[in-house]
């Protein structure tokens, strides 16, 4: 940007050349630490993980890079159930989140009034408590003799052997609870942007309230729905804490497999291959999203 130079402004004129060179360098200097950190501690590790997946060996004798591409297919078929289960749990939880958050976001965006910010803060309240403690609290609430089930059993409204913990339902409910804000906020952002006058215009053109919703509000929130889906489904599919705390041994998700392979059995190539497959799946989703709606838009919803 060229700044106007005034002849009587000695100081500014003298500093100008230096300022220009500085300006050319400035963006690089400013982005250097952040860029460096992200490259060295995010991009390079991702690449290294890929290489790790191609190695063979074991903990005791070390690993050699043998370009063992078969690892991917092998792990995929070995843990097909866990992959499918993760997709099913995360998918179900995401759909529940979308259904629950849609009216919520709608009301806050259009009828929140001066309490809007307070409601948004309440949506974020779960984040002020550790993720793991939230899941533990649910374990408490849903435990077989806990506040809810214990009471219902004492009233003979439920059979004594009824339980929720260690079932798929508990895991899906836990995931849905923990990721609800990730769905509600992007939806809210999308709806907040809708010009209320459009809805009034629809009304002026004799649309019923339902029609105005279906033909004006809903289409305009579709980008928000996609963003919400991505921001909820992606972290949910790799989640293993909810499954370990609320689920049982019979509903292992892929995250637990990766965690065990990496940290317990130390089968690094297997674990690296599994997380590379997970990453590839996520990249496909992100790519599709970018194709449909442009890659920059999602940042607006974060």
Coil/strand/helix, residue 63 = strand
* Chosen residue from 76, 84, 121, 152 binding other proteins by CB under 8 A: 121
**Per-residue contact track with other proteins, 153 to 172, x per CB under 8 A?**
--------------------
Q: Check binding of 177 to other proteins (CB under 8 A).
A: yes
Termini Cα distance of the chain:
31
Question: Minimal distance in Å, beta carbon 137 to other proteins?
Answer: 3
Structure token pair of residue 228 = 């919400």
Which window, 70-78, 157-165, 214-222, 259-267, contacts other proteins (CB under 8 A)? 259-267
Whole-angstrom Cα distance, residue 52 to residue 88? Answer: 28
Question: Minimal distance in Å, beta carbon 168 to other proteins?
Answer: 20
What is residue 56's DSSP assignment?
A: E
Angle between helix axes 131-142 and 168-192 (nearest 10 degrees) is 130
Coil/strand/helix, residue 248 = coil
- 79 to 108, contacts with other proteins by CB under 8 A? 100, 103-104, 106-108
Q: Which residues contact 273 (CB under 8 A, 6 or more apart)?
A: 53, 71, 72, 74, 75
**Per-residue contact track with other proteins, 44 to 83, x per CB under 8 A?**
xxx-xx-xx---------x---------------------
Q: Check binding of 259 to other proteins (CB under 8 A).
A: yes
Q: Check binding of 219 to other proteins (CB under 8 A).
A: no
């Amino acid at each position: 940007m060229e700044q106007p130079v005034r002849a009587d402004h000695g100081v500014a004129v003298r500093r100008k050349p230096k300022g220009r060179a500085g300006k050319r360098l400035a963006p690089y200097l400013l982005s250097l630490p952040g860029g460096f950190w992200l490259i060295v501690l995010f991009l390079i590790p991702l690449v290294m993980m890929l290489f790790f997946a191609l190695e063979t060996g074991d903990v005791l004798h070390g690993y050699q890079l043998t370009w063992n591409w078969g690892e991917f297919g092998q792990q995929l078929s070995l843990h097909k159930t866990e992959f499918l289960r993760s997709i099913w749990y995360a998918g179900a939880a995401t759909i529940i989140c979308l259904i629950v958050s849609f009216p919520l976001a709608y009301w806050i965006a259009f009828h929140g009034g001066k309490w809007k910010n307070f409601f948004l803060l309440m949506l974020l309240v779960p984040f002020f408590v550790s993720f793991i403690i939230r899941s533990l609290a649910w374990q408490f609430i849903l435990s077989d003799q806990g506040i809810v089930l214990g009471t219902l059993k004492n009233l003979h409204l439920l059979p004594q052997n009824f339980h929720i913990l260690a079932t798929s339902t508990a895991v899906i409910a836990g995931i849905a609870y923990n990721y609800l804000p990730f769905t509600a906020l992007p939806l809210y952002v999308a709806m907040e942007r809708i010009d209320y006058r459009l809805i009034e215009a629809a009304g002026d053109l004799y649309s019923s309230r339902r029609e105005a919703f279906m033909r004006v509000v809903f289409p305009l929130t579709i980008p928000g729905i996609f963003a919400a889906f991505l921001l909820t489904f992606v972290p949910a599919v790799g989640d293993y804490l909810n499954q370990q705390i609320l689920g049982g041994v019979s509903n292992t998700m892929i995250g637990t497999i990766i965690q065990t392979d990496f940290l317990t059995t130390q089968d690094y190539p297997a674990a690296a291959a599994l997380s590379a497959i997970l990453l590839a799946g996520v990249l496909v989703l992100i790519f599709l999203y970018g194709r449909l709606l442009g890659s920059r838009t999602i940042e607006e919803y974060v």
